[in-house]
Amino acid sequence: MELVSRLLGGFFNLFEPLFRAGQRWLGFSRLGWLFVAPNLIVFGLFTFLPIVINFVYATTGGVKLYPFDRPFTGMENFGILFECRDYFDIRTCRKDVFWRAMINTAQFSVIQVTLMVGFSLVTALVLNRKIIGRGFWRGVFFYPVLLSPVVVALIWKWLLQTQGVFNAGLVAAGSTPVNWLTEAHWAFSWTVFVSIWAHMGFYTLILLAGLQAIPKEMYEAAEMDAAPPWRTLTRITLPLLMPNLIVVLVLAMIRAVQIFDEVYVLTGGGPGSATTFIVQFIYQTGFAEQIHLYGLAAAASLVLAIGLMALTIVQLRITKASSAGQRAR
């Protein structure tokens, strides 16, 4: 304890003269810049500068890492990504894995988000009832949210392996074992299930907070009118929860489009490219394969960025519209 306070004191003394000098030099009101400077430097170096350089990568070719060593190729990277002989058959595309990843990501996002938000809504509605031990139950659904994606993937990989407990159950029931993670349809379904398992607690929490913000008087009024529970749900709860529900939908969508970690460890993108998603394509093109095609990876991440931007705009518009609607009400 003594040591910690000495350390902290030393740290304090280290910076005090710097800020005193800063105040003399900048004047009081501009001292704020000194306080935000570290933050801005980090953001500038690791967020804003990269945004700019990303365009440089996307429009240059070759395998060199340093932008000045890379020949300018214009839109060629995008051409490579999207070139197909027959657009109705992705096997004829030059980068068929990219198309596969796009389609997989779209399918995954729609299915996963629909199911997950559905389950989260049901769970939040149940938790919002008069339940004994609500804090405990909320924690039950929330716990997996805290686990690392790698741990989540390994837990399920262990259960789903050929010699695992799921197959033991099948054999005990007189059926034959299934290769859960090496049959395309099963592998895809399990990535959906595992990601729902890992993340639904987070959305349940947001929806529950929304439900608890609905004024009690609303329900009292409904009870006075002897409204059946179903009508209370569809006429009071759901409409008032709508803003939260939309935020949750878009947030979940933005996360789902960027799915990578869990799936990468669980299936490695396989079998074949059945569970390869767009971020994994970026990672593999830019970093994991023998030849690092930085330009192609950057171009693919710009495609992803456009998708995310569209989702964000949708979110902003809807939240604006719904808050305006609420004010009108």
Half-sphere exposure of 283 (CA within 13 A, CB side): 13
Q: Which is nearer to another protein, 47 or 88 (CB)?
A: 47
Least distance from C-beta 269 to another protein, angstroms?
12
Q: Which is nearer to another protein, 34 or 84 (CB)?
A: 34
CA neighbor of 205 nearest in space, from 144, 260, 150, 161: 144
SS3 192: helix
Q: Which is nearer to another protein, 97 or 299 (CB)?
A: 299
What backbone phi and psi angles, to 5 degrees, belong to 249? -60, -50
- Residue 227: how many CB atoms within 10 A of its CB? 15
Least distance from C-beta 318 to another protein, angstroms?
15
CA neighbor of 285 nearest in space, from 306, 268, 264, 299: 299
Q: Which is nearer to another protein, 75 or 171 (CB)?
A: 171
Least distance from C-beta 153 to another protein, angstroms?
8
Distance, CA of 26 to CA of 30 (rounded, Å)? 6
Q: Which residue has the tokens 């009832």?
A: 129
Least distance from C-beta 162 to another protein, angstroms?
9
CA neighbor of 114 nearest in space, from 41, 177, 192: 192
Q: Which is nearer to another protein, 87 or 171 (CB)?
A: 171
Least distance from C-beta 137 to another protein, angstroms?
5
